[in-house]
Every structure is written in C-alpha cells, then in structure tokens.
Amino acid sequence: MPIPAERGTAVLAALVLPLAALLCLEIASRSAIVDPTFIPPPSAIIGTLGDIVATGAFARPLAQTVLLLFAGYGLGSFAAISLGILMGASRAVYNCLEPLAELLRPLPKPALLPALILFLGLGAKMEVTIVALGCFFPVLINTIQGVRAVEPTMINTARTFGHGSFAVWRRILLPASAPYILAGMRVSLGLGLILAITAEMIAGTGGLGDSILRAQRLFLVKESYAWLVILALLGLVLTGVFGFIERRLAFWSAPQVT
C-alpha cells in the first residue's frame, strides 16, 4: 500500500531523468556546445511539433498509418486465431500445416517486402499484406499453445454435462486460451507497427513512416524529430490501449509465450 508520500517520490523520480536530459539538451544546443543544426533544442522541436499539429499536417499520415495497421493487424490476427484454433484442436490439421508454418516462421518478415513490391506494387495492398503476414505468426503460435494448454479435464467436464462441441469451444476453449491469444496479439501489435512504418518508408506513398523519412531526406531536422515524437506517442497510445483491453478481457492470468 504505497503511502501518498511514496507515490509522490515515485512520480518525481520518474520525471528526473527525462527532464534532466531535455534540460541538458536545451542548454547544450542553445549554447552551441553541440551543433544546433543537427541537434536542435527541444523547445524548437516542440515548436515545430506544434506547427505540425496546428496545421493539421499530421492528420492524414496518422490516419493512413493507423488504418493500415488496423487492417493488416485485424486480417492477420483473425486468420491466425481461426487457423490456430483449428490446428490446436486437431492433431491431423496440425501435422499437415506445421512443417509449412515452421519453415515460414524464421523468415524475417521485412525480407518479404521486396517480393511483395514486385507483385503488388507500392500501394496499400502491399502494405496491408506485409502487416498481415507479420502479425499472423505470433498470434498463430500463441493460439495453438493456448488451445493446447486448455486442461482436458475442463473439456471433459463440459462434455459430461452434455454440452455440444460448439458450446465447448465458445465457453471453455476460447476464454481459457484467451490469455495466450492476447499475449500473441500484444507481440503482433508491436511487430505490425514496425512493419507498417517500414513499408511506408520503402513505398513512399504516404503515412507516418513516409513523412518522417521525407523530412530526413529533405534535411528538415526539426521536422524529423517532431515526427519521431508523434510516432512515439502513437506507439505509447497503442500499447496503453491494448494493455487496458487485455486487462479487461483476461484478468485472471496472462502467461508469457514469446
């Protein structure tokens, strides 16, 4: 039970490092200890960030990236959960598909970008596909583990009470494997965001990844940092929202399967 004084100290301690770092940077940059062309003072960066926000220049790229992420993440997760439940529940299906999955899993998904570009060009189709592919595997593996981990006694108990297969699935299998599935989806979220931004950077057709890379290429130093802040905030918000949803949905346990 943290006393108010303890909580206060904790909050203070948490802020010390970032604030001190920002302060040092500000002083160093303004007094030209470091070259302000390459390392602008944080106040200037915040100013540029304010401009980007005020002019609404962030809105379109942000929307594009978020839409891309959700589309790919949703697609990949849905496919992975469906297939994962099937593979987890049926030995036959698992044995058929597992070698294929094992072969594709170690492939670093960004490596598929060039191939996808050749097939699908530089547009949204390619981007959604790579994000979906990247999100697929962690969720698949975790779903299989989750379904497998469901105690057989739970299922048998349900059966002895006369529940049919579908009810067993819905009321026991899914909730029991939910913590695993959510753990996989958490990993996929981070990976999906990384792939979305990478794809945007390489495709150059809009989105936050494109914005930040353009700023760097045009030597717009302050803008680059400002876009970084926006991306960092996006990552933070997504992680926070996911954590909140995860806690609401699977409050009874959260095993780590990486």
Nearer to another protein, 100 or 162 (CB): 100
Q: Tell the smallest beta-carbon distance from residue 161 to another protein (Å).
A: 28
Of the pair 167, 194, the CB lying nearest another protein is at 194
107 CB burial (10 A radius; 0-12, 13-18, 19+): exposed
Q: How far is the CB of 121 from another protein (least distance, A)?
A: 11
Taking the complex as a whole, the smallest distance from the CB of residue 22 to another protein amounts, in Å, to: 11
List of residues contacting another protein (CB under 8 A): 1, 9-10, 13-18, 38-39, 91-92, 95-100, 103, 106-115, 117-119, 190, 193-194, 197-198, 201-202, 208-209, 212-213, 215-216, 221, 224-225, 227-228, 231-232, 234-236, 238-239, 258
Q: Report the alpha-carbon distance of residue 198 to residue 182 in Å, rounded.
A: 24
* Nearer residue to another protein within complex by CB, 91 or 248: 91
Instruction: Give the C-alpha separation, 71 to 132, whole Å.
Output: 8
Give the integer Cα–Cα distance in Å for 222 and 198.
Answer: 21
Determine the Cα–Cα distance for residues 37 and 2; give it in Å rounded to an integer.
Answer: 45
**Which is nearer to another protein, 35 or 157 (by Cβ)?**
35
User: Letter for the amino acid at 20?
Assistant: A
Least distance from C-beta 62 to another protein, angstroms? 13
196: left (phi over 0), alpha (psi -120 to 50) or beta: alpha
Q: Looking at beta carbons only, is 80 or 158 nearer to another protein? A: 80
Q: Least distance in Å: CB of 201 to another protein? A: 5
CA distance 85 to 136: 13
